[in-house]
């Protein structure tokens, strides 16, 4: 009985983190979608984003397992601290003033840069989850599906909403990661 509830708890935690990380793709997708985008480009960008949301946490989880073997008993504090820092960074980044020049989203370089920029946080979270020996397949699939789906939603929604929505999406994602980091520490 205890094993089932622990697995369900891990599943819920991973899904919430996957959605939080997907909010980055969602918010940037809104910005690109507002510039006008074809459905073929939505599919291409979202597919590459989903792949990066699988590859980056996978690399992170293997890195986290290695770091966990080095850190021993302080692994939970290190992983929680990493999530707190990442969440705080996402919140601050969401409201930073400045003009961001977007790369052409139709070029291969633009698609790769977009996908890498929204999935680099997945690497850091993957490191933390690797320290906790999280379920590898479940984690990378949840991150990939949420990253790709939220990218599609952001790109399509970007045609219809205002620019300010994107900032709040990244801030909410950062707050969720910050909260999980604090839970791991305390």
Across the chain, mean pLDDT equals 80
Of the pLDDT bands very low, low, confident and very high (cuts 50, 70, 90), residue 167 is low
Taking 70 as the threshold, does the pLDDT of residue 101 lie above it?
A: no
Beta-strand ranges (E) seen in 51-172 are none
CB atoms inside a 10 Å sphere around CB 31 = 18
- 74 lies in which domain range? 2-185
Tokens coding 139 = 């984690």
- How many structural domains is the chain composed of? 1
* Mean pLDDT of the region 118-138: 83
- Contact yes or no for 93/170 (Cβ under 8 A): yes
Nearest in space to 93 (alpha carbons), one of 103, 85, 82, 83: 85
Residues ≥6 apart with Cβ < 8 Å to 148: 25, 46, 47, 49, 50, 53
16 pLDDT higher than 80: yes
What pTM was computed for the model?
0.74
| Arithmetic mean of pLDDT, 140-158 | 92
Tell me the CATH number at 39: 1.20.1250
- Among 124, 113, 149, CA closest to 26: 149
């Amino acid at each position: 009985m205890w094993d089932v509830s622990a697995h369900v708890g891990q599943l819920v935690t991973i899904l919430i983190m996957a959605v939080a990380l997907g909010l980055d793709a969602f918010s940037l997708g809104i910005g690109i979608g507002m510039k006008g985008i074809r459905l073929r480009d939505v599919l291409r960008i979202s597919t590459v984003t989903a792949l990066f949301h699988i590859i980056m946490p996978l690399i992170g989880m293997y890195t986290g397992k290695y770091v966990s073997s080095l850190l021993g008993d302080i692994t939970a504090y290190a992983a929680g601290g990493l999530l707190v820092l990442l969440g705080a960074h996402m919140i601050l980044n969401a409201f930073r003033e400045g003009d961001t020049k977007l790369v052409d989203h139709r070029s291969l370089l633009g698609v790769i840069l977009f996908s890498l920029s929204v999935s680099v946080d997945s690497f850091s979270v993957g490191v933390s989850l690797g320290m906790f020996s999280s379920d590898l397949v479940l984690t990378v699939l949840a991150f990939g599906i949420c990253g790709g789906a939220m990218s599609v939603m952001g790109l399509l929604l970007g045609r219809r909403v205002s620019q300010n929505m994107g900032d709040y999406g990244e801030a909410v994602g950062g707050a969720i990661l910050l909260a999980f980091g604090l839970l791991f520490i305390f």
